[in-house]
């Protein structure tokens, strides 16, 4: 089976706990105003790859110590069959790896809860907070005009001269190898706490999902749901706006994400990566969910270093 993706990256350090493989699906018709990843909207963009190829990347990431897989976009649930195949294969590889690392012969991974029950777990763990105050502004690192964070935490691409330095940045502590994960709560090799988790970002709300989309999420351990709303910034880690919800779906998801449901991010929420680009230029990719003003601040820092950005994906 083929999947159209915008790109992949390992180690991803800003979209979930621990070093992760990031996979960004291509194509999104939701088109939230202020999305920093407009380059992932066009369903004809990106490139087609086989799910098997992506799973090879996941296997290599597990061997390198990955603590999770994060699937974003774009909108992953607009390719539900491909997402289902990717998550099913990723869960199988993850479980086999955990058994081989010390739990051989033991099937210690709790099975995913039924879909209706899984969503009920998410609602009970992080109830909707319709009456909660929404901060008028979440300060970014320095003065200047504000720039909206991404809806689904996809990469932001921009071109810069080949001599451009990689922007300095400190990932949120949620990206440290295991410092804030409660994995010690489940002991023993191959147990829940030692397994890599599968996290999916979607702009849809649970009540919007079709049966095909629910099936696609059957092997996800946690999901972040909801459109990005530029007028509702949030300090919460791994979320772009206050309406978005982090929902654990499995026992593993509950263990891994319960401590982060109400936790505010600290430090920068963007991970800069430079890769060779067309025409002898360097492409700068920013992975994560920026605070308001953080993208503008990054551009000012780059200009101060003599680097100008072209074709930034967060501009209309």
CATH number at residue 75: 3.20.20
Cβ atoms within 10 Å, residue 186: 17
User: Per mean pLDDT, which range of 76-80, 162-166, 231-235, 287-291 is the poorest?
Assistant: 162-166
Is 150 among the domain residues?
Answer: no
Residue 84's domain spans which residues? 2-136+181-269
The verdict on residue 43 lying in a domain is yes
Q: What is the pLDDT of residues 19-75, one digit of tens each?
A: 999 999 999 999 999 898 999 999 999 999 999 999 999 999 999 999 999 999 999
Per-residue pLDDT of 93-135, as tens digits, reads 999 998 886 433 333 444 443 344 445 433 333 433 433 332 2
Does position 207 have pLDDT exceeding 80, yes or no?
Answer: yes
Asked if residue 78 is part of any domain, the answer here is yes
On whether residue 256 sits in a domain, the answer given is yes
pTM for the whole thing?
A: 0.75
> What pLDDT shows up at residue 302?
82
Among 249, 226, 252, 250, smallest CA distance to 238 is for 226
In a domain, 264, yes or no: yes
User: Which of 225, 220, 218 shows the shortest CA–CA distance to 204?
Assistant: 225
193: confidence class by pLDDT, cuts 50, 70, 90: low
In sequence order, which residues have a C-beta less than 8 Å from that of residue 217 and are 6 or more positions away? 77, 83, 87, 115, 118, 200, 209, 223, 249
Domain count, the chain: 1
């Amino acid at each position: 089976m083929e999947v159209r993706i915008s790109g992949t990256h390992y180690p991803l350090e800003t979209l979930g706990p621990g070093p992760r493989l990031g996979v960004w699906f291509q194509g999104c018709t939701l088109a939230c105003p202020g999305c920093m990843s407009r380059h992932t909207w066009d369903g004809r963009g990106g490139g087609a790859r086989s799910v098997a190829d992506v799973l090879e990347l996941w296997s290599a990431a597990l061997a390198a110590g990955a603590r999770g897989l994060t699937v974003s976009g774009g909108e992953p649930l607009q390719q539900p069959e491909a997402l289902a195949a990717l998550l099913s294969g990723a869960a199988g590889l993850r479980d086999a790896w955990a058994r081989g690392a010390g739990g051989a012969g033991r099937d210690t991974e709790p099975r995913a809860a039924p879909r209706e029950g899984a969503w009920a777990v998410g609602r009970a763990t992080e109830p909707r907070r319709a009456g909660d105050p929404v901060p008028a502004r979440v300060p970014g690192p320095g003065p200047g005009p504000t720039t909206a964070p991404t809806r689904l935490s996809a990469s932001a691409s921009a071109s810069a001269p080949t001599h451009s330095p990689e922007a300095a940045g400190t990932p949120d502590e949620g990206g440290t190898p295991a410092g804030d994960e409660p994995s010690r709560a489940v002991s023993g090799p191959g147990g829940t706490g030692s397994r890599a988790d599968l996290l999916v970002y979607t702009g849809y709300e649970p009540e919007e999902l079709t049966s095909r989309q629910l099936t696609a999420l059957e092997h996800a351990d946690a999901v972040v749901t909801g459109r990005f709303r530029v007028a509702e910034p949030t300090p919460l880690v791994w979320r772009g706006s206050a309406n978005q919800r982090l929902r654990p779906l499995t026992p593993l998801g509950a263990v891994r994400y319960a401590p982060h449901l109400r936790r505010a991010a600290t430090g920068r929420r963007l991970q800069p990566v430079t890769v060779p680009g067309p025409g002898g230029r360097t492409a700068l990719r920013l992975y994560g969910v920026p605070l308001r003003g953080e993208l503008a601040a990054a551009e000012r820092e780059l200009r101060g270093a003599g680097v100008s950005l072209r074709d930034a994906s967060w501009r209309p």
